[in-house]
Amino acid sequence: MDGLTATDSSPGLMPSNGFPKKAVFLPIAAILLLSLQFQTLPIRIQIQSLPLTTVFALLFLPFVIGRIPRSPLLSILAIFFGFVFLHSLIFLLVDLFSNQPDTRFIAWARQSFALFAGIVTFLVFRTAFLHVSLQQIFKFIAWGTVPALLLSVLNILWGAFGQGWAGGIVAGIRDFMSPEGYTSPLRATGFATEPAALATSLVVTLLPVLFVYFGQKRNRFWTIVLLILATASFMWTFSTVGLLLMLGVLGAGLFFGPKKKIILLVFTLFVGATLMVTVLFPSNQILRHAGTIAAGRANVSFTDRFYSAVGPFMEGLSSYSIVGYGLGGISTHFREVLPTQFQAEILATKWKEFPNLAILFGRVFAETGAIGFVLFLTAIYMTFRQLKFIMRNDTVAGSALTYSSIRLGLIASCLALLISVGPYHTPYVWIWMAVIDAKYVLSTQKAYQW
């Protein structure tokens, strides 16, 4: 059992009235996964991001409240959430008497909501995944990606081939679905806030699904079509972050599977196509970033992401980051969290009243301190450990391919925490953790059939 045991005897697949929960949670899972690519709401408000999936998760919370099967990961996340909330209340009270009380309280409320929404997203994902198969999860993820891929193809027709009609469609759809987002003919954005967010979503969610589909050799024609559309969309994001994330995941795949042949195929298509288009269209974001960094000039995008991730650790001993400023505390303690020489450059890109760190890895440390950061890392470690348990005990044909692909999805999520993802409520932080935890609960309770 690898030292892991479930602490609840039944996943509760049938409610007391005998009505099958799958009839409820299958459509819930479908709605959550089909909406993954919609990272903003069609509302013209100044808000960093509020994914549609997160909104649906909050609406579906009443279906989850009740008897929730426990697991080691769920216990750790509960401890993390409880610690962070109590910790943040203490530091909020301290700051209210000394630092811009109105701004500090609003910042606390915003970040508390973000963390709460993230935990709810995990719980609703997890509960829904108890009642649907992995194949259904993969299918919904793939289908949900198609609209964003088709919109990206129109973006390519607009930017690469000068098709104004395509540009009109892209601009119209994005003006409605993401009115505060970035839209350009020379970079695909899908339904995300920016090109890097689209690239991240493709790597974290779609890539593991493609690995499974190619390994199973099912629906090969549509799998190839999906891969071509994903490759075209990914390359037209011209996202340096996306390219680094892709290289990191494919590099991990050479060591952890699923199959080297599949890894090399995807590497050739995604990375090769991106490099080719980068050369054909030299006035692009990747080459501009590379040029400024090579010349030693300032690159605010790189500076913001890099120091949002490592800055709080660099200043850990000369500030209170090691203790944590509490949820929302970065807004009033921003200059204490980052090295002095980079503050002005980074602040110029932030919302003036509520500056924040762009990367969740650094934000968790700065807001929750060493204790909260260790709890968060422990949750990630436990997710990998539970996955290891599942892989050792599920010997059904095809399970090794599936779970090794899921492991790459989890690795992609972890890498995204380092270079791409900022808010707690981003669904990509929680989706593979929820998949693994749900299947761990079912496998330990012998209620899961492949």
Q: Which has more pLDDT, 267 or 111?
A: 111
For 64-120, what is each residue's pLDDT tens digit?
Answer: 887 788 999 999 999 999 999 999 999 999 888 876 677 889 999 999 999 999 999
Q: pTM (2 decimals)? A: 0.91
Position 267 pLDDT exceeds 50: yes
pLDDT at 441: 93
| Measured distance CA(86)–CA(108) in Å, rounded | 12
For 288-328, what is each residue's pLDDT tens digit?
Answer: 887 887 776 767 888 899 999 999 999 888 888 899 999 99
**Does residue 136 contact residue 26 with C-beta atoms inside 8 Å?**
yes
| Measured distance CA(77)–CA(80) in Å, rounded | 5
Residue 249, both tokens: 């995941």
Closest CA to 152 of 166, 172, 165, 136: 166
Q: In Å, what is the CA distance from 264 to each residue of 18, 122, 272, 378?
A: 48, 32, 11, 32
| Measured distance CA(186)–CA(156) in Å, rounded | 7
Q: How confident is the model at residue 235 (pLDDT cuts 50, 70, 90)?
A: very high
pLDDT at 374: 98
pLDDT at 52: 93
**Does residue 351 contact residue 331 with C-beta atoms inside 8 Å?**
no
Reported as half-sphere exposure (CB side, CA atoms, 13 A), residue 200 has a value of: 24
Q: In Å, what is the CA distance from 109 to each residue of 91, 116, 335?
A: 13, 10, 21
3-state helix, strand, coil in the chain (%, to 5): 70, 0, 30
Position 450 pLDDT exceeds 70: no
